[in-house]
Amino acid sequence: MEDLSLHILDIAENSVNAGAKNIEITIKTDNENDLLILEIIDDGQGMEKEFATKVTDPFQTKRTTRKVGLGLAFLDEATKQTEGKLTVDSSKGIGTKIRATFKLSHSDMKPIGDIAETLVCLIAGNPDINFSYNHFLSGSKFIFDTKSIRQLYPDLPINSFEVLGFIRKYIKENTKNFK
């Protein structure tokens, strides 16, 4: 995958498939410690502890449609390429927390990518799920959540063309300096 937003899309779709109703995506850019931290937390079905320790193995998957699961394996590799690491904390029936750390200055550090488009895709396809996105960079923060959007536009479906257009524009305008 060429950027982090595509990893986020893939992992968040895993959360959706695991029955999550709430998905929180956080990016923390810590220039002082030369780190970018990506966290995706969901309240889906979670995994047994033993299975969670093996999820970066592409041949460990609960999918029935194919025998490989590459999303976490690819994210794990992306972290290792930058001297970072991936941790998975999951509890059956409670949910999962994915934490990926990257060394910001590493030459293999991928760009963040188009977060606005990633979130719009997730919301468009999953209008009943609560998504929140938090981005922290050098004392600045951007916080977005679909609950607030539903309150702003109570008479419009969140996946309507108008609302998705607003979301896209709002996120792009408020994160343009967060690269």
Predicted local distance difference test score (pLDDT) of residue 67: 41
What residue spans define the domains of the chain? 4-113+129-145
Share of residues in the chain with pLDDT > 70 (%):
87
Q: What CA–CA distances, in Å, run from 103 to 35, 84, 112, 132, 177?
A: 5, 6, 13, 24, 19
Contacts of 160 (CB under 8 A, 6+ apart): none
Predicted local distance difference test score (pLDDT) of residue 27: 97
Contacts of 88 (CB under 8 A, 6+ apart): 47, 52, 53, 55, 56, 72, 96, 97, 98, 99
149 vs 63 pLDDT, higher one: 149
Q: Kindly state the average pLDDT of the residues 137-166.
A: 92
pTM of the model: 0.90
Half-sphere exposure of 59 (CA within 13 A, CB side): 0
Q: Kindly state the average pLDDT of the residues 122-149.
A: 95
- CATH code reported for the domain at 4-113+129-145: 3.30.565.10
**What one-letter code names the amino acid at 41?**
I
Predicted local distance difference test score (pLDDT) of residue 51: 64
Asked whether the predicted pLDDT for residue 97 surpasses 50, the reply is yes
Q: Kindly state the average pLDDT of the residues 64-91.
A: 82
Q: Kindly state the average pLDDT of the residues 146-169.
A: 92
Mean pLDDT of the chain: 89
Q: Kindly state the average pLDDT of the residues 98-102.
A: 97
